[in-house]
Structure 1
Amino acid sequence: MALSATTYKMHLDLSDTDRGVYEELRHTVARHPSETEERLTARILAFGLFWDPRMHFGRGLSDVDEAALWSRNLEGQIEHWVEVGRPDADRLKRCSNRTDRLTLLAYGNQDVWAAQVLPKVANLDKLAIASLPQAPMNELAVDLPRSIHWGLMITDDVLYVSDGDRQVEIALSWLKRSG
């Protein structure tokens, strides 16, 4: 018998001063049985970081032909493909061919991954790679409640995530900028 996805109710109070975006976002997010809390946390943060009115969660782990997040134009073409984690160079190249803009939000132990993958994708002009540090991600992802209500403030590439009981500061670093 196959395991089913676990649903999470997400409520983000987004204040992105870098882009001038101030929104209250509510969404139901499915967590694949093989997905960690850390990856789900990264997907939620990516949703806030790269949010636009057409941004949607993809099937991600359930379907290798879909992004973790993406936005499509009115014709159904993918405008922005967002990956999370540490995908290999071949996946990033395939994704880049399917979209106008590709962003990766990397998390976890990235040293070996970066040494192996970054040189192979350096020529992908559509690709931008942002990195989340391990320690604050671990703090935020531990015991993730099924009903997530976060205040997410983004300013000068620093994410301030508060849940009423605590605030976690996550300094975003860019490993590669697009264009």
Structure 2
Amino acid sequence: MAIGATIHTFTVQLADVDRGVYDELTLRVARHPSETDAYMMTRVLAYCLEFEEGIGFSEGVSSTEEPAVLVRDLTGALKVWIEVGAPDAARLHYASKLADRTVIYTHRDPAKVAAPWAGKRIHDADAITLRSFDVGFIDAAAALLERRNTMTLSITEAQLYLELNGTTLSSGLHERGVE
């Protein structure tokens, strides 16, 4: 018998000073058995860091036609394609053609994530952003995960301050292009 997804809940106090976004979120996140805690934590942070009207999680690792997180406008049109992890060049090419904006959040070494894209055809590659965190930040946050999580996330001047289940962590939010 197949193991089903594990549901994690996050009560989030979000204060993104850089974008002027302040909100309280309640997220129900399904973690597929093949998904690591680090990937799920990166997915939750990507959701928070890109939070705007119309944002949502896709069906996750089982969905090959959608990113981990996406933003749609009121008509249902895709505005932002938000990948998590290390997508291949073909997927980025496809995403960049479909969405107004494409961004990748990774919990891995960004240089190693971007290396396979070199010399590959990626539509509007100079407009795609790759975001990462300080080494060890995602692993430290993933180690704190519970089924029910209380989280405060503050972002100011590209610095993240995360309180997760009573433990405080911080990281820079690093950004680089895809080209």
Tell whether the structures are fold-level matches, with TM greater than 0.5.
yes
> By how many angstroms is 1:165 displaced?
2.5
Q: Which residue of 2 aligns with 1:34?
A: 34
Instruction: Give, in whole Å, the separation in 2 of the partners of 1:131 and 1:74.
Output: 29
Cα-Cα RMSD: 1.9
1:130 aligns to 2:131 (yes or no):
yes
Instruction: Give, in whole Å, the separation in 1 of the partners of 2:14 and 2:178.
Output: 23
> By how many angstroms is 1:82 displaced?
0.5
- 5+ long unaligned stretches in structure 1: none
Instruction: Give, in whole Å, the separation in 2 of the partners of 1:82 and 1:106.
Output: 11
Q: Which residue of 1 aligns with 2:70?
A: 70
Alignment of 1:162-177 (within 5 A): 162-163=163-164, 165-176=166-177
Aligned residues: 178
Contact 1:108 1:133 in 2 (8 A): no
> By how many angstroms is 1:119 displaced?
5.0
Instruction: Give, in whole Å, the separation in 2 of the partners of 1:163 and 1:143.
Output: 7
> By how many angstroms is 1:60 displaced?
2.3
TM-score calculated relative to the size of structure 2: 0.92
Distance change in 2, residues 1:127/1:52 (3 Å): same
- 5+ long unaligned stretches in structure 2: none
Q: Percent identity?
A: 33
> By how many angstroms is 1:52 displaced?
0.2
1:147 aligns to 2:151 (yes or no):
no
SS of match in other structure, 1:97: helix
Instruction: Give, in whole Å, the separation in 2 of the partners of 1:19 and 1:124.
Output: 24
Q: Which residue of 2 aligns with 1:13?
A: 13
Contact 1:104 1:128 in 2 (8 A): yes
Deviations 1:121-147 (CA, angstroms, capped at 9, x unpaired): 495244111112331111111141011
Contact 2:160 2:170 in 1 (8 A): yes
TM-score calculated relative to the size of structure 1: 0.92
Runs (4+) off by over 6 Å: none
Distance change in 2, residues 1:145/1:118 (3 Å): farther
Distance change in 2, residues 1:55/1:13 (3 Å): same
